[in-house]
Structures are given as structure tokens and as C-alpha cells.
Chains A and B, each alone.
Chain A
């Protein structure tokens, strides 16, 4: 790494902690975070400097259901959950645009869809994170319909990691298992290739050989969303 690259990453660390990095730049940075421990330290330092700003925010009591959920997850060891982003269709706010009319809606949908299709089919990247930070880095090329998956840790003894793709509010579909740290190539079925951008990838803990049911049976350890990197 050149000193300029290192300096650029240091500056981005401050932006990442503040939250202003987004999209491809954010994903590239998270990829770097997964590879450089010193960079995570910089981000932690910035978090420490900025966090006292939170004191100016007024407290608000959460509903009792939140504690119940935390208690249950801690008791059952369910430390990570997939939080998929609401699709455009599911967003309540989107459907509140009653005043706009269906013709305008059709135009907007066309714009949304074509913005996605016009993205050059370059490398798409997902960084799957768990509570400890980045754990799995995924590079995807929609044209080749293959994923390169780099796992940063072995699955625990007696288990395997299984990789799932969750596209557009559908049920998870398995892309295969990853037992050890290292890099693996996984092919993406043709009918899923179009749903790669914006899809969620997740890794669950399964018995050796993967889930016996075709759906995740163990806890979700890491998850992340595919974003185009140009």
C-alpha cells in the first residue's frame, strides 16, 4: 500500500465513523476494513471522539417488546438476524403517494428499474458483517454469474457455514456451504442473476453438509447487501 493510499483510507475512516460514506465507496471501505486491523482501530478512535455528541439527543423510552426480544435472543444464542432492506414495493411511504396517480407511478418505476440496469456489470461486492465486524467478503460478477467468497474464519468444529441469497423479499436460497477460511467460487443460478444487485447475502451455522431442510436451521452469523462497485 502506498502512503497516499494509506492516508486516503485514514481520511475515509473518519467519514465512515461519521456515517457520510455510502454506496460503492462505503462497500470498498468495508472491504479494506476486513483486511486491515489498523484501519478498524482508526474507525474505533473516531467513534470514541464523536460519540459524546449523542448526549445532546433527547432520551425516548423504547417499548417493552424490545427488551423481551433482546432477552430471548441472548438466551437462545441468536446473535445475528438478517435485516433485509424493505423493497420498493413494501415501503409504506411509497404507496402513500396516492395523489401522484398511476401514470406517474409507472414512470417512476421505469426510472428506478432502468437506473439499475444501466449500471455497468462490473464487480459487485458485499461485505457480510456480524457483531464483531466484517467476516466474509464477496465479489460478484453478474455476467459470469459467479461469486468469489472469501471467508475470514473457519466454521466451528462440528458445523459448517452455509451461504444464502435473499432477493426481493423472497425466502432464502442456498448458494452452498463454506467450511473453512479461504476463498471459494460459487455459481449463481441463472434465475437469480438478475436479482443480485441489492440482494442480501447471509451466512448461517449449519450441521456438516449444510441445512437438512433447505432453509436456514441455525443462527444467522453474518449478513450483508450486494452493492455495485465501479
Chain B
């Protein structure tokens, strides 16, 4: 079972991000110590290569340093705010990496063989995460599968179309409708 120790609204993280916003470099160090393994896991899941994931984590924390002033509770918990920065940077770099010819199925390609994260299996510590998991459960299976594959593996819609053997239009429809349903469930 995957256990998490970072509940949403963690007061320690809220204090640390405020310190970082004031330009406190020791605050950044402590924030890094508290959160980097979780965030590195996110980067690694998307990039599949340690060296690229480390670039992502580095860029993300420099960005967090600069943007801490803009964080407020309306943006979600500190952890989800940081996870978004990490994941967005990963997707950004990944999109720059992809060549015209897909090498993903090349023999000998370094593959990230860890088991696929499953929000329905993991023990989720925060109420936020449990809510998202429950709302995901209300989606059609195909919508849910497309969204979780996209989220955890950073697949493009073209890659999803290939992997799920469905036309691009259908994939877009599953993703868009699934996300709208998710939103309506989270914010009724």
C-alpha cells in the first residue's frame, strides 16, 4: 500500500511557503526537504529518465522560489500547487523531446517499469485526493482510463489514440467529457 504523509492544508508547508515568499533561502531548503521525494516521484513518472526528471525538479523549485509570493489558498494546498508546477514543467520538456518518429517502442529503450499509480489502490492521506478519486469513480471506464493514463504517463492525445486503439476524435471526446464530469462532481 502506498501511504502518504502530506495532508492537504499542512500548516508546516503553509508556513514554509510564506517564508520562501519572503526570500528566506533556508525556508526553501526546508520546503525541499519536506516535499522533494514526492515531487521527484511525479517528475520521474512523466520523464521516465532520472536525468531529465532531475532537470524538471530543479527548474520547478527555482520557479517555486520565484512564484511563492503568488501562492494563496485559493490555488489549492501548497502540495498540489507545487505538484502542478512540477508536472507542467515535465510535460513542457517532454513535448520538446518527442521526435517526429516515435521511439517509444524501440527495443532496448530504457523503460520505467514501476507499477502504474492507481488512485483507487493507494492510501490517499488528503481529503482533496480522496475527493478526486471518488469523482473519478463516477466517470465512464473509458473516460477514466484516458484521463489517468494521460495524467500519470504524460501521454499526448495521439499517443492515447494509439494505445487505446481509438480515433483521435473519440479520445478528445473521452478526455473533454470526462474532465467536465470530474469538474461537475468536484464543484457541484
B-binding residues in A (CB < 8 A): 11, 14-15, 18-23, 26, 44, 46-63, 65-67, 69-71, 73-75, 78-81, 83-86, 88, 91-94, 96-97, 99, 108, 111-112, 115-116, 129, 131-132, 200, 225
CB distance from B185 to the nearest CB of A (A): 10
State the interface size on chain B (CB cutoff 8 A). Answer: 87
Other-chain residue from B40, B62, B148 in contact with A59 (beta carbon distance below 8 A): B40
In the complex, chain B residues whose CB is within 8 Å of the CB of A57: 38, 41-42, 45, 117, 152
The secondary-structure label for the interface of chain A is helix
Other-chain residue from A18, A60, A70, A83 in contact with B151 (beta carbon distance below 8 A): A18
Question: Known: A52-B126, A88-B99. Contact between A70 and B32, CB under 8 A?
Answer: yes
A-binding residues in B (CB < 8 A): 2, 4, 6, 8, 25, 28-29, 32, 36-38, 40-42, 44-45, 50, 53-55, 57-59, 61-63, 65-67, 75-76, 79-81, 83-84, 87-88, 91-93, 95-101, 103, 106-110, 114, 117-119, 121-122, 124-126, 128-129, 131-132, 147-148, 150-152, 154-158, 160, 171-172, 175-176, 179-180, 182-183, 186
A85, B92: Cα distance in complex, Å? 11
Known pairs A47-B88, A56-B152; list 6 more (Cβ under 8 Å). Answer: A18-B175, A47-B87, A51-B84, A52-B131, A54-B80, A61-B40
18 A-B pairs (CB sep. < 8 Å): A14-B183, A15-B157, A18-B179, A19-B91, A21-B156, A22-B156, A47-B88, A48-B81, A49-B186, A50-B151, A53-B152, A55-B119, A57-B42, A60-B41, A84-B96, A91-B99, A97-B107, A131-B67
Question: Known: A22-B158, A67-B29. Contact between A60 and B37, CB under 8 A?
Answer: yes
The secondary-structure label for the interface of chain B is helix
Is A11 a contact partner of B176 (Cβ separation < 8 A)? yes
Is A66 a contact partner of B58 (Cβ separation < 8 A)? yes
Is B75 a contact partner of A48 (Cβ separation < 8 A)? yes
In the complex, chain A residues whose CB is within 8 Å of the CB of B186: 49
A96, B111: Cα distance in complex, Å? 13
